[in-house]
Chain A
Amino acid sequence: MSPALGRTGRIVTLLLVATGFAYPVAAFAVVGLRRDDGTGPTGLALRNAWDSWQTVLRFNDGVVLSWLGNSLIVATGGALVAVAVGIPAGYALARLRFPGRRLLRFCTLLTMVVPNTVLVIPLYLEVSAVGAVNNIWVVALLMGFHPFGVYLTYIHFRTTLPAPVLEAARIDGLSETDIFRRVALPASKPAVALVGFFSFVANWTNFFLPLVLLPLSSSTTISVGLPQLVSSSPLFDPTNAAGLDVRLYAPQLAVATLVTVAPVLAVFVIAQRALTRGQMLGATR
């Protein structure tokens, strides 16, 4: 195989695959700009997206806004807890010696690689045993358990905080908590951004936990809500058109989805600089 041929083949392959990834996303965004009141999508204008959004808002008296609000609470709350709890823990794991450290590190790794949904039914059993189902703060707290964030912080402090600096601080007579506050914390900004970002995105897109722990449709999150929009759409059940006054067709569903993605993109942009530096950490979830 000649190098020129290989080069062309490589570029063509990459471009073809890129089309395969980008085309559906672009086509989906375009659906959001169209108009449909049951006769098939027509037109292409930003105005249509706005109208569609108004229709979505009328669904069940604006329940979509409650869903978005609830998502914001659990995603932000969970991210704050994950940062507040995960940064100190990650630091301690990386830089302090204490009994049980290896066990804790092991448990962290294990809970990190086990898919989180397998713990949802057990969590439900636990939470319902103490009668706290349908409590949004409980969900936010549980989402704050983010072993991946602890591991990220652990890696961060192992790789970026030189041991001599810590040693110097110790010799200077700082207590270990002071060292964390005055040496480690100021150096932890990238880790905070990473943990915050990954935790927020994981919480925002989490479907199973809110489905099980927030069963009332007004108190659930947008990821549980979106499928409810789908099942009320005449698109997949034409008889819905006869019963419902708010009719959601393809453009309305697409706009609702794009609105749902917006916060994730926003956080992505905010955290981007830290992310590009941190992607070597094996950011996978």
Chain B
Amino acid sequence: MLRRTGTTIALLALIGLTACKGPEGTGTADDATDSGGRITVWVDPPRLPAVNAFQQAHPEIPVDVMTINGNVGSTELQQKFVLFNQAGTGWPDAIFFPSNDDIAWAANSKINYVRDLTDDLADVIAQYAPSSISQCRIDGLFRCLRNDAAPDVLWYDKQLMAAWGYQPPTTWEDYEKLSLRIAAEHPGYVTGFLGDAYAPDRYLWASGCPTNDRLSERQVHINLGDPRCTRVRDLLDHLVAADVVSPAGIFSPDATALGKRLVMSPGAVWWGSFLFRDTWKVPPGRIAAAAPLRWTADPTPFTSSEGGGLWGFSRHIKGTQLQNTLTFARFVATDPRWQVDLSVGLPGVGPLQQPWLTRQRETGYLADFDAAAAAFVLASTIVRPERDYTRYNTGTVWTHTVTPALTSGRSFAHAWTVFGERLVGEARSFGYTVHNSA
């Protein structure tokens, strides 16, 4: 804990030196207005309780709430912001982005909606593990706050593992070996889902494969020939060939039946209650979590993250409206009345993680809670930082190249080639110059 705070401070000091003069216009916009206090907040349905809790805690601040919905890759939200920019009015003061990739356009110079929080909320930012907040750091400035950390851990069915006499793997190499064994000994069971937009996060990001290595607003580094990519490609190729991973996605209705036959899989912290318990209805006491898988060749362990919501705040406000919005920002990021009592995800800020875990223990859903809790906390500190949210959506490219190929029974190698071409192509059509040096 102490060491992490130490690195955070060191990092902040470094940022403080370099970020004093950021790119033009990331702070308060010239056209900023002040409502005199009332703030407008846009959230998706699961985040409504956060707003309610805020209204109870701060009855003096009037809040307008709008519920938004959005699928990954949907343009609806962005469309609205294009309109607001044209009209010069209409922006919400705070927004929970339905998809994490939204931060890429919201911070892009064309829309330029989210304000730089580096100075105003320095104390809040300092409470995050650097790896939890690194996706909010765009060109040296912190332009969003993380609601919940969503690092990947290894989920497994403890009862099945015990009954079959297996040990949960600790490395990707072991994960592959055990998967192939399960394929041979217990056909019909699965050890992963490949069909959803988070699958490239789970596998490619965890390995450090450069798919979203943003160099600047118009430069990106993509290289699927990198050894950190090819090792995942080979792994998935073998698992697909053995038919032990499902081409369905975790959100697909087809996954509900398969979820009960999931022996193990890398997956985000929120899988526990959101998928296993509430969506797939796996009985309590079966599901357990272990530390993230690591690649034997890597000197230090790393993991990836799947979603875990981001909050953004408007550049177009000042005065009391701004102060109230910042109060709201502090509340949703660090107040236990939301983060511990109500939020379904592991808090992004470090100090609230233990209190949240203590509460989760009471629900008694997971088998061996202490091991899971330790895995969650560890994972939230080792998310690979060099993976950014970009305007092209890697998850969407994956779902319409790899997923259909696997659904129609094509080989993974074929799917991989198409995925790589499309990824580079889409990055280019968004105006990025693609660097593919190793």
Contacts and interface: CB of A to CB of B under 8 A. Distances in A.
B356 to A, nearest CB: 18
A60 B67 contact: yes
A243 B44 contact: yes
B83 A133 contact: yes
A175 interface: no
A231 B83 contact: no
Contacts of A215: 76, 79-80, 82-83
Among B44, B83, B275, residue most surrounded by chain A Cβ atoms (within 10 Å): B83
Contacts of B274: 239, 242
Interface residues on A, range: 20 to 34
Nearest to B67: A60
Contacts of A128: 86
Contacts of A232: 69
Interface residues of B, number: 24
A237 interface: yes
A239 B253 CA distance: 9
A16 to B, nearest CB: 31
Q: Chain A interface secondary structure, helix, strand, loop or mixed?
A: loop
A91 B211 CA distance: 62
A228 B86 CA distance: 24
A231 B279 CA distance: 17
A234 B80 CA distance: 25
B343 interface: no
Contacts of A60: 67
A231 B69 contact: yes
Contacts of A244: 45
Interface string A199-239: 00000000000000001110000000000100110011111
A66 interface: no
A253 to B, nearest CB: 14
Interface in B268-299: 274-275, 278-279
A243 B87 contact: no
A131 interface: yes
Contacts of A217: 68, 76
Interface in A124-151: 128, 131, 133-134
Given A242-B279, A245-B45, A237 B80 contact: no
A134 B87 contact: yes
B279 A239 contact: yes
Nearest to B68: A217
A231 B251 contact: no
Contacts of B87: 131, 133-134
B56 interface: no
A241 interface: yes
A236 B86 contact: no
A232 B68 CA distance: 10
Given A228-B69, A243-B45, A216 B86 contact: no
A133 B90 CA distance: 13
B256 interface: yes
A238 B69 contact: no
B45 A231 contact: no
B200 to A, nearest CB: 19
Contacts of B278: 239, 241-242
A228 B68 CA distance: 11
A238 B86 contact: no
Contacts of B80: 215-216
Contacts of A235: 253
20 contacts: A128-B86, A133-B83, A133-B86, A133-B87, A134-B83, A134-B87, A215-B76, A215-B79, A215-B80, A235-B253, A236-B253, A237-B253, A238-B256, A238-B279, A239-B251, A239-B275, A239-B278, A241-B279, A243-B45, A243-B46
Interface of B: 44-46, 67-69, 71, 74, 76, 79-80, 82-83, 86-87, 251-253, 255-256, 274-275, 278-279
Given A131-B86, A237-B252, A242-B274, 16 more contacts: A60-B67, A215-B79, A215-B83, A216-B83, A228-B69, A231-B69, A232-B69, A235-B253, A236-B253, A237-B253, A239-B251, A239-B274, A239-B279, A241-B278, A242-B278, A243-B44
